[in-house]
Structure 1
Amino acid sequence: MQDTPFTHSLIVPDEAATARLAARLGARLRPGDLVALRGDLGAGKSAFSRALIRSVTVPDAEVPSPTFTLVQTYDTDIGPLWHFDLYRLSDADEVIELGWDDSRAEAVALVEWPDRLGPLLPADRVELALTIVGPTERRAELTGFGALAARLAAADWTL
């Protein structure tokens, strides 16, 4: 395990570049990995998730937002993938009822609003923080913690 996080920041000029970043990350994920997606409403967390899921399934896959269902599951090229939107949760224990333990044991988890996880947020994870910097531009800060730091550090993040 690596103690020092790996961080890489870049400007993502548009949704096409967001999709390229998502595909690069998707290619590096394995079952058991967690991607914590941070950013204000409208920052692009769902667009990033949709692009990542399409990159590991098929380009025109139907990828609804889990805003109301709270979780969507997918069979992908990298194994099962669970996409959580925890915005509406008020307590970390509520995520257990959504199948959290199963997702952590066998799948990649994409988690929007990861602060809602509280103590369930694992030490080994990828965090992607998206910040609006223009009409279509976002600043993306990608951070790998624990075992994921070295895997992310070894990748080329040039878009």
Structure 2
Amino acid sequence: MIDVVLADEEATLALGARLGHACRKEGAIIFLLGTLGTGKTTLTRGFLQALGHKGTVKSPTYTLVEPYILNQQQIYHFDLYRLTDPQELEFMGIQDYFTPGAIILIEWPERALSWLPPPDLQISLGYLEIGSRSARLEAKTERGQHLLHPIS
């Protein structure tokens, strides 16, 4: 487990970038936990930019998933905040996204835990004082431990 203080948005982007580099060509399932505004999408933006994404990164709150192909790597960014019934994930073919080598980033996974495979990494984001936040990174699998090694 690693605890990180995120002094500002740039620190959150930098942590996302380090995670992105660690996951490059590796594949991973990453759960992003935290209340509204704690930096889940900002962390994802840093992650995707580190892998070569040049456009904007917005949370797929209404579409549930935003796919990216970066350097021949499949990356899926889920936001389950507006999920009303976890069974909706079955209707959208959720299991089809969890392919070997894919990187899956899931905001609000607690809204559908019974429909999701276990994560390799769980990142809990929270508030500290005004303007700063914290991140707790926990490896949940052996792959997750391997991915955290360059972060520590």
TM over 0.5: yes
The within-5 A match list for 1:52-91 is 52-58=47-53, 60-77=54-71, 79-91=73-85
Mapped to 2, the partners of 1:26 and 1:78 lie a distance apart of: 14
**2:145 aligned to 136, 142, 150, which one?**
150
SS of the counterpart of 2:113? helix
Aligned residue in 2 for 1:101: 95
RMSD between aligned residues: 1.8
* Matched residues, number: 150
Aligned residue in 2 for 1:134: 129
Q: 1:41 to 1:156 in 2, by over 3 A?
A: closer
Letter in 1 for 2:34: G
Mapped to 2, the partners of 1:27 and 1:36 lie a distance apart of: 17
1:31-54 superposed Cα distances (whole Å, 9 cap, x missing partner) = 641110000011111111122111
Per-residue deviation at 1:90? 2.5
Q: Give TM-score scaled by structure 1 length.
A: 0.84
1:53-85 superposed Cα distances (whole Å, 9 cap, x missing partner) = 111123x32222201111111011361111111
Kindly indicate whether the alpha-carbon contact (under 8 Å) linking 2:121 and 2:137 is maintained by their aligned counterparts in 1: yes
Q: 1:32 to 1:65 in 2, by over 3 A?
A: same
Letter in 2 for 1:25: L
For structure 2, list consecutive stretches of 5 or more residues without a partner in the other structure. Answer: none
**2:118 aligned to 84, 108, 123, which one?**
123
Kindly indicate whether the alpha-carbon contact (under 8 Å) linking 2:41 and 2:58 is maintained by their aligned counterparts in 1: no
Q: 1:33 to 1:78 in 2, by over 3 A?
A: farther
Mapped to 1, the partners of 2:46 and 2:148 lie a distance apart of: 22
Give the percent of matched residue pairs that are identical in Structure 1 and Structure 2: 33
1:40 aligns with 2:35: yes
